[in-house]
Amino acid sequence: MNLGNRTILVVDDEPRTRQGIRQTLEVWAAGRYIVETADNGIDARERLLHGRVHLLITDVRMPEVSGLDLIRSLEGQVRKPVIIVISGYAEFDYVQQALRLGAVNYLLKPLDKEELVQVVEAALKQEEEQQRREKLEKLVDHKLMEIDPDTAGMGEPVKEALAYVEQHLHEQLTMAEVAGRIHLNASYFSVLFKEQTGVPFSEYLSRLRIQRAKELLLQTSLPIVEIGERVGYRTDKYFIKVFKSLEDMSPSRYRHQMKNGRSEI
């Protein structure tokens, strides 16, 4: 994960508080994070709309666009930052509203530097975990996850077929070949397979190959053409075509986005 591309945005209309937070975090971060500031909610909202922010630290009360308004403006965004709010003791009802809107923690003024760093570290760990889960979500094929050989309705012939495909995924498999291996007529096997797994054999084979390809894209630096060969495709052109049909992007773009800390599509 490239921490140098991760950004913290500090929003506060009080210059002393804003700059104090920035300086404290820059010393703590030692170049690991980019720390940016905004002195009002309007500029902050524009920054959030047009660039990736991983952690938002905002005062809850500001003129024109408050911290609460800023948090509300993030609703519906695919990738929202984790949020810490700052407030005075007399504004704790605003803090409660912010927590209900999704803020993960709060800080009361005057800020303690040690507490600030501790709260920021915890929030960034939460953001990393959130990003990790999102990446896993992109990696996993849920249709494949639903196919469980141990379910009561799965017969031995289909179980054997699933095991055979797993072991010979790199080969040029056909439905007729797999059916022959388990001594079934191809037409009957086709009906049986879909009935017990919920997907046609050809779709299952494509999904499994692309699932394995995604793992290789992230875990190795192998060329695209070699990865295609390893999961059973004779040409990289056809491999890319099937990959795009299931993932809505090319293998190279998938690798780039996932390895550079981006999971949005």
Give the distance, in angstroms, between the CA of residue 120 and the centroid of all CA atoms in the same chain: 21
Instruction: List the pLDDT tens digit at each of the 265 positions of the chain.
Output: 444 468 999 999 999 999 999 999 999 999 999 999 999 999 999 999 888 899 999 999 998 899 999 999 998 787 889 999 999 877 888 999 999 999 999 999 999 999 999 999 999 999 999 888 887 787 889 899 999 888 878 999 999 999 999 999 999 999 999 999 999 999 999 999 999 999 999 999 999 999 999 999 998 999 999 999 999 999 999 999 999 999 999 999 999 888 775 433 2
Neighbours of 173 (CB within 10 A): 17
User: Which residues pair with residue 37 across a beta bridge?
Assistant: 10
In contact, 67 and 17? CB cutoff 8 Å: no
Yes or no: is domain 3-135 CATH 3.40.50.2300? yes
Please provide residue 72's backbone torsions phi and psi, each rounded to the nearest 5 degrees.
Answer: -60, -35
Supply 260's token pair.
């550079």
**Paired tokens of 13:** 């209309």
Segment 144-182, tens digit of pLDDT: 999 988 887 899 999 999 999 999 999 999 999 999 999
Whole-number pLDDT of residue 261:
54
What is the residue extent of each domain of the chain? 3-135, 142-259
Q: What is the reported pTM? A: 0.69
Fold type of domain 142-259: Arc Repressor Mutant, subunit A (1.10.10)
Report how far residue 30's alpha carbon sits from residue 25's, in angstroms, rounded to the nearest whole number.
Answer: 8
Respond yes or no on whether the N-terminal peptide bond of residue 157 is cis (omega within 30° of 0). Answer: no
Smallest Cα–Cα separation from 210: which of 185, 179, 245, 180? 245
CA separation for the pair 70, 56 (Å, rounded):
10
- Amino acid making up residue 11: V
Asked if residue 54 lies in contact with residue 264, where contact means CB atoms within 8 angstroms, the answer is no
Between CA 221 and CA 231, with CA 226 as vertex, the angle to 5 degrees is 105
